[in-house]
Amino acid sequence: MSDDLLKYRPEFPILERTTYMISNSLGAMPRGVYEAMHDYAETWATRGVRAWEEHWWMLAAEVGNEIGSLMNAPQWCVSTHQNVTTCQAVIASCFDFSSKRNKVVYTDMNFPSVMYFWEAQQDTGARVRMVKTDDGITVPTQRLLDAIDEETLLVPVSHVIFRSAFINDAAAIVEKAHKVGALVVLDTFQSLGTVPIDVQALNVDFACGGVLKWLCGGPGVGYLYVRPDLGKKLKPRFTGWMAHENPFAFEIGATRYTDPPFRFMNGTPHIPSLEAARPGLKIINEIGVAQIRNKSQRQTARLIALADQHGWKINTPRDPEQRGGTVSIEIPDAQEVCRELLRRDVLVDYRPKAGVRLSPHFYNTDQELDNAIGVIGEILSERQLATG
Ligand SMILES: Cc1ncc(COP(=O)(O)O)c(C=O)c1O
Residue nearest to atom 7 of ligand 1 (CA): 84
Q: Listing from the earlier edge strand, what are the strands of the sheet with 355-358?
A: 313-314, 327-330, 355-358, 349-351
- Tens-place pLDDT, residues 83-136: 999 999 999 999 999 999 999 999 999 999 999 999 999 999 999 999 999 999
Other residues' Cβ atoms within 10 Å of the Cβ of residue 100: 9
pLDDT value, residue 1: 61
User: Which of 15, 21, 12 minimizes the C-alpha distance to 338?
Assistant: 21
pLDDT value, residue 140: 97
When pLDDT is averaged across residues 222-228 and rounded to a whole number, the result is 98
Share of the chain above pLDDT 70, in %: 99
Q: Is the CB of 222 under 6 A from ligand 1?
A: yes
CA–centroid distance, 256 to ligand 1, in Å, is 31
User: Which of 369, 357, 283, 370 minimizes the C-alpha distance to 12?
Assistant: 283
CA distance 11 to 17: 13
pLDDT value, residue 383: 87
CA–centroid distance, 269 to ligand 1, in Å, is 20
Summary count for the chain: helices (H), strands (E): 13, 13
Residue 327 CB partners (closer than 8 Å, separation 6+): 165, 300, 303, 304, 307, 314, 316, 357, 358, 359
Q: Is the CB of 187 under 6 A from ligand 1?
A: yes
CA 309 to chain centre: 31
First and final C-alpha spacing in the chain: 41
Q: Is the CB of 193 under 6 A from ligand 1?
A: no
pLDDT band for position 259 (50/70/90)? very high
CA distance 175 to 162: 23
DSSP 24: T
pLDDT value, residue 271: 98
The amino acid sitting at 24 is N
- Tens-place pLDDT, residues 36-92: 999 999 999 999 999 999 999 999 999 999 999 999 999 999 999 999 999 999 999
Residue 44 CB burial class (10 angstroms; 0-12, 13-18, ≥19): middle
Residue to probe by mutation, ligand 1, list 80, 82, 84, most atoms within 8 Å of CB = 84
Query: Which numbered atom of ligand 1 lies nearest the CA of 83?
Result: 9
CA–centroid distance, 115 to ligand 1, in Å, is 11
Other residues' Cβ atoms within 10 Å of the Cβ of residue 7: 9
CA distance 225 to 273: 19
pTM: 0.97
CA–centroid distance, 248 to ligand 1, in Å, is 34
pLDDT value, residue 385: 80
CA–centroid distance, 111 to ligand 1, in Å, is 6
User: Which of 180, 100, 189 minimizes the C-alpha distance to 144?
Assistant: 180
CA–centroid distance, 360 to ligand 1, in Å, is 19
pLDDT value, residue 384: 81
pLDDT at 251 over 90: yes
Residue to probe by mutation, ligand 1, list 91, 162, 326, 359, most atoms within 8 Å of CB = 162
pLDDT value, residue 113: 97
pLDDT value, residue 118: 98
Q: Quote the mean pLDDT of the chain.
A: 97
pLDDT at 205 over 90: yes
Q: What is the dihedral of CA 118, 120, 125, 131, to 10 degrees?
A: 40
User: Which of 126, 55, 133, 117 minimizes the C-alpha distance to 95?
Assistant: 126
When pLDDT is averaged across residues 350-358 and rounded to a whole number, the result is 92
pLDDT value, residue 388: 65
- Tens-place pLDDT, residues 367-387: 999 999 999 999 999 988 887
When pLDDT is averaged across residues 337-347 and rounded to a whole number, the result is 96
CA distance 209 to 222: 6
- Tens-place pLDDT, residues 145-200: 999 999 999 999 999 999 999 999 999 999 999 999 999 999 999 999 999 999 99
CA distance 228 to 232: 7
CA distance 90 to 83: 11
CA–centroid distance, 229 to ligand 1, in Å, is 26
Query: Which numbered atom of ligand 1 lies nearest the CA of 85?
Result: 10
Residue nearest to atom 3 of ligand 1 (CA): 111
Q: Using alpha carbons, list the distances in angstroms from residue 108 to 128, 182, 313.
A: 11, 19, 22
pLDDT value, residue 386: 83
3-state secondary structure of 253: coil
